[in-house]
Amino acid sequence: MTTIRDVAKKAGVSVATVSRFLNSTGYVSQEAAAAVTAAVAELQYELNPVARSLNTKKSNLIGLILPDITNPFFPELARAVEDVALSYGYTVILCNSDEKPEKEKNYIETLKKKYIAGFIVASNQLDAPHYANANLPIVALDRAINEKIPTISSNNKEGAILGTKALLDRGCKNILFLRGPEELNPANDRYDGFMETIQQTDVNFRVVFCPFHFADSQEIAEQALRDDPSIDGIFASSDVSAAGALKAASLLGIAVPDALQVVGFDGVALGEMLTPGLTTVAQDVYKMGAIAARVLIKRIENQEIEQHFYQVPVKLVIRGTTRSVTE
Amino acid sequence: MTTIRDVAKKAGVSVATVSRFLNSTGYVSQEAAAAVTAAVAELQYELNPVARSLNTKKSNLIGLILPDITNPFFPELARAVEDVALSYGYTVILCNSDEKPEKEKNYIETLKKKYIAGFIVASNQLDAPHYANANLPIVALDRAINEKIPTISSNNKEGAILGTKALLDRGCKNILFLRGPEELNPANDRYDGFMETIQQTDVNFRVVFCPFHFADSQEIAEQALRDDPSIDGIFASSDVSAAGALKAASLLGIAVPDALQVVGFDGVALGEMLTPGLTTVAQDVYKMGAIAARVLIKRIENQEIEQHFYQVPVKLVIRGTTRSVTE
């Protein structure tokens, strides 16, 4: 294997000069730079990336911290991040925090020691200062950490307005809102959109907290439907929760969409697989992941970023869990 | 930050001695070892893991290569690998090959340069020699590479026998088998189990190839059901394909399980979310991932492994897409 010594010998310069030039860690004369470049090309010298990490304290590894890899929203997001990162020569390390702060912290600490180039954080467990002190490029995805950290998210409030109106336009008179976890910004924005819209009407509604998990959502929806059989619309803050609500309706023998209409939020592939297919507020998951990767790489490479806050538009996807619009 | 020089000074030995001892790369006297150990403890010296990678050409990174992270089987597998790896101090790098050989190759080459400790391979794109030549501990998960590489898989043939019998016991007289991709060993084992069982009966059957993707499966099942409306049972080689078959039945107005019974294979959470809930041959996904991680770590740490081939039992999970057993 060709070593840095071979390159130095061929170029007629010192090993230190080759290292300074290749790692951009100090001044090298134009002549030396040209000689090293020629020697590298001729010898097909490949800079050892671990050695390079040590010298420059940088790598081409990006850490992507996800809260729950078994929620289909996150694999779809991960795939987009990975596609874009790969096209720029970065490798993505996926970290599944399982919504546990210790796991999230362990990943950050472990990967910082590997001289990771930056993080995309879609999880939600640690306090903002923990990230602010990381001294690394960070991008927040589907959450906000603080105003200094670039954030990519859907227009969640707008989406919730769309979803609520979809139920109102289709004649719902008593709507159950499955509100996502209080500590999640996207969930709170969706709640705001729902409240703002519903309060302009005289339609009955109730709000219950509901984690983004299928079984919990099924149980919570089932209880609410038993408590109030006149509920004729459910707006769930995630597709997984909507799947739980649909399952609850099926177990209680409530016909969807005739007696109960359901709208989800996410737009993951799961929604198509359900029967009836799920009407949902679709996020542009791929675009969110792709922007996050691009912004992080710009930060890593010290390029300007145009904006600090990217809000990706959402759209309503009508499938079988809602009826035709009431005239 | 404490450096190796501080440790050497405190211990009264040379930097080379400290390095030899900490990286286990050469002989160190008992006295020197004791002095270094004491100095490390006193100074709370933490060995730089990237420097350590360079010295020992080892890291605590494990690469997990998955063919399709959006198929829910693989996130469930990844979670198990990650849980066990973390408990042994290893960090998992997830690599989504998207079933593309170039991506799989790029991951292996990139990560080898990072001195990755080993790979768990659940993908299926590269020829066996590529892995055999990797000079790294490798474990095959849900596929077989060659007899030298430890392999963890479900008892797929046994599972297919269970699934086929489930349809036969419930009165099916004309069964469609959605056969998985021919290049996948697990898919072929499932095919063998189906064929062995069905050929012992006089029940009609047909076999069609079907990728493990929802939309393709829906289309293929819909075509088959149109061609032969007397099909009264579908055995799909994956849960995602079964979801496609269920959707096809729903679109064609075929009642499940009254007119058509469906059995899947995988046991992923998706099966519970569907309506009716999917009867399926459940793999012990978590156990498969956990064994793979444990076996790989033993190989990395040069420990004996008890066996080269682990076959994890499967079980039939009865839900709503099948009827009661015919007396």
Question: What does the pLDDT read at residue B53?
Answer: 46
pLDDT mean by block of 10 residues, chain B; 327 residues: 80 81 68 80 65 55 88 90 87 82 79 81 72 82 84 96 98 98 92 98 98 96 98 98 98 97 96 96 95 95 89 97 84
Same fold, A61-154+286-312 and A156-283: yes
Distance separating alpha carbons of residues B228 and B222, to the nearest angstrom: 10
Is the Cβ pair B247, A272 closer than 8 Å? yes
Question: What does the pLDDT read at residue A15?
Answer: 79
Report whether CATH 3.40.50.2300 matches the domain A61-154+286-312.
yes
Q: Which helix (H) or strand (E) holds A75?
A: helix A73-87
Question: What does the pLDDT read at residue A54?
Answer: 44
Looking at domain B4-56, its CATH class is: mainly alpha
Is the Cβ pair A273, B272 closer than 8 Å? no
For A243, which residue in chain B has the nearest alpha carbon?
A: B273
Is the Cβ pair B94, A92 closer than 8 Å? yes
Q: At CA B42, angle to CA B26 and CA B7, rounded to 5? A: 40
Concatenated DSSP letters of A78-93: HHHHHHHHHHTT-EEE
So where are chain A's domains?
4-56, 61-154+286-312, 156-283
Residues of chain A contacting B240 with CB distance shorter than 8 Å: 273
With b for 16 or more beta-carbon neighbours within 10 A and e for fewer, the A278-316 pattern comes to bbbbbbbbbebbbbbbbbbbbbbeeeeeeeeebebebeb
- Is the separation of the CB atoms in B11 and B37 below 8 Å? no
Is the Cβ pair B96, A113 closer than 8 Å? no
Question: What does the pLDDT read at residue B126?
Answer: 64
Q: pLDDT by residue (tens digit) across A130-185? A: 776 677 899 999 887 777 889 999 999 999 999 999 999 999 999 999 999 998 88
How many A×B Cβ pairs under 8 Å? 116
Number of helical H runs and strand E runs in chain B: 13, 12
A62 class by beta-carbon count within 10 Å (0-12 exposed, 13-18 middle, 19+ buried): buried
Instruction: Place domain A156-283 in its CATH homologous superfamily.
Output: Response regulator (3.40.50.2300)
Is the Cβ pair B91, A103 closer than 8 Å? no
Question: What does the pLDDT read at residue A26?
Answer: 63
- Which runs of consecutive H residues, i.e. helices, occur in A114-262? 128-132, 156-169, 185-198, 214-227, 239-251
- Look at A57 and B131; give whichever has higher pLDDT: B131
Residues of chain B contacting A74 with CB distance shorter than 8 Å: 75
Instruction: Place domain B61-153+286-312 in its CATH homologous superfamily.
Output: Response regulator (3.40.50.2300)
Which token pair is B210? 């079907």
Region A103-110 average pLDDT: 79
Is the Cβ pair B94, A78 closer than 8 Å? yes
**Residue B246 is nearest to which of A98, A214, A275, comparing CB atoms?**
A275
Which residue type occupies B110?
Answer: T
pLDDT score of A59 more than 70:
yes
Min Cα–Cα distance to chain A from B193, Å: 27
Looking at domain B156-284, its CATH class is: alpha beta
Distance separating alpha carbons of residues A271 and A253, to the nearest angstrom: 20
Question: What does the pLDDT read at residue B115?
Answer: 67
Q: What torsion, rounded to 10 degrees, do the Cα atoms B277, A160, A311, A135 define?
A: -70
Q: pLDDT by residue (tens digit) across A303-322? A: 988 888 999 999 999 999 99
